[in-house]
């Protein structure tokens, strides 16, 4: 098995300090949170931008401030910017972040109900537009799939040459409106991707650590973080992103999976070595 790649989604666009005070907003908070996650074993920092009051933004200027602050503390960590933005943002608003020349970004591969009247829209034309922009800029993308239909859409784009190697999927399971995070769901998605692809699993809420353990056992990779889950165990708020990463490292130790450094992660994902 490859060494385990741990991604830490440090903040997101929706979760707030009122829900868990550890959620970082400011550049200083995000840099320190990313650094502590990196020290614990995270080689990829999944980054949403927020202003100091917690308001989400896709503006490249804010992303640059945050990326620069993180790179001062951990210069070799891989920063994976989110092109998901927040519900209601336009295609070009969401892609403004590509103007900071990121090393890695997310590519959402389908539309999803997000509860109530919220719809996270990713049409086939959106996916093609995003992928072609990232291809032209040489940005490594992670294909975020919330259910099986998203994988099928991705496979069609692979056949058309729109989505290119290296193929790295993220199974985001447990979102209301998407697939749940039971073992059967994980296995269904894992068995639906090409043999030469790699994948990571992001379990939302109560699914975070059960899915992390499954991914570790089956040779996949793991994403955790306050964007996805605010608890370290049932009913107990986590104190930090670092604590969530450390729990994954302990699971990996249980199964003899070594943790990938940023350099090793770049090799596994066939990225340019920094």
Residue 226 in domain: yes
Q: What is the 3-state secondary structure (H, E, C) of the chain?
A: CCCECEEEECCCCCCCCCCCCCCCCCHHHHHHHHHHHHHHCCCEEEECEECCCCCEECCHHHHHHHHHHHHHHCCCCEEEECCCCCCCCCHHHHHHHHHHCCCEEEEECCCEECCCCCEECCCHHHHHHHHHHHHHHCCEEEEEECCHHHHHHHHHHHHHCCCCCCCEEEEEECCCCCCCCCHHHHHHHHCCCCCCCEEEEEECHHHHHHHHHHHHHCCCEEEECCCCCCEEECCEECCCHHHHHHHHHHHHHHCCCCECCHHHHHHHCCCCCC
Segment 74-99, tens digit of pLDDT: 999 999 999 987 777 889 999 999 99
Query: The domain containing residue 89 runs over which residues?
Result: 6-268
Residue 154 in domain: yes
Give Cα 57 to chain centroid, integer Å: 17
Q: Which residues pair with 57 in a beta bridge?
A: 49
- pLDDT recorded at residue 89: 83
pLDDT band at 165 (very low <50, low <70, confident <90, very high): confident
Residue 159 in domain: yes
* CATH code, domain carrying 236: 3.20.20.70
Write down the pTM of the prediction.
0.97
Segment 198-236, tens digit of pLDDT: 999 999 999 999 999 999 999 999 999 999 999 999 999
Residue 111 in domain: yes
Residue 67 in domain: yes
* CA-closest candidate to residue 231, choices 23, 56, 75: 23
Q: What is the C-alpha to C-alpha distance for residues 8 and 215, in angstroms, rounded to an integer?
A: 15
Q: How many domains does the chain have?
A: 1
Residue 57 in domain: yes
- pLDDT recorded at residue 170: 98
Q: What are phi and psi of 7, to 5 degrees?
A: -105, 140
pLDDT band at 43 (very low <50, low <70, confident <90, very high): very high
Q: What is the C-alpha to C-alpha distance for residues 222 and 95, in angstroms, rounded to an integer?
A: 25
Segment 108-156, tens digit of pLDDT: 999 999 878 889 999 999 999 999 999 999 999 999 999 999 999 999 9
Residue 273 in domain: no
Segment 168-202, tens digit of pLDDT: 999 999 998 999 999 999 999 999 999 999 999 99
Residue 1 in domain: no
């Amino acid at each position: 098995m490859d060494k385990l790649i741990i991604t830490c989604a440090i903040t997101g666009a929706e979760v707030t300090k009122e829900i868990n005070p550890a959620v970082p907003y400011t550049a200083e908070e995000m840099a320190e949170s990313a650094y502590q996650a990196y020290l614990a074993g995270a080689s990829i920092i999944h980054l949403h931008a927020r202003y100091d009051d917690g308001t989400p933004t896709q503006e490249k200027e804010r992303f640059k401030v945050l990326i620069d602050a993180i790179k001062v503390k951990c210069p070799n960590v891989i920063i994976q910017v989110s092109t998901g933005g927040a519900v209601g943002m336009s295609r070009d608003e969401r892609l403004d972040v590509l103007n900071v020349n990121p090393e890695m970004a997310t590519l959402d591969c389908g539309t999803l109900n997000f509860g109530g009247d919220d719809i996270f829209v990713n049409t086939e034309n959106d996916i093609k537009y995003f992928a072609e922009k990232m291809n032209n800029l040489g940005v490594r993308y992670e294909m975020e799939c919330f259910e099986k239909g998203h994988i099928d859409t991705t496979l069609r784009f692979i056949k058309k040459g729109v989505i290119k190697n290296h193929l790295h999927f993220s199974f985001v399971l447990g979102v209301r409106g998407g697939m749940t995070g039971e073992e059967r769901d994980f296995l269904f998605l894992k068995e639906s991707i090409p043999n030469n692809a790699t994948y990571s699993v992001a379990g939302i809420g109560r699914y975070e650590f059960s899915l992390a353990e499954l991914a570790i056992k089956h040779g996949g990779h793991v994403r955790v973080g306050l964007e996805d889950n605010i608890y370290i165990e049932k009913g107990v708020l986590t104190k930090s992103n670092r604590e969530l990463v450390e729990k994954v490292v302990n699971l990996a130790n249980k199964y003899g999976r070594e943790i990938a450094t940023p350099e090793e992660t770049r090799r596994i994902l066939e990225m340019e070595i920094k």
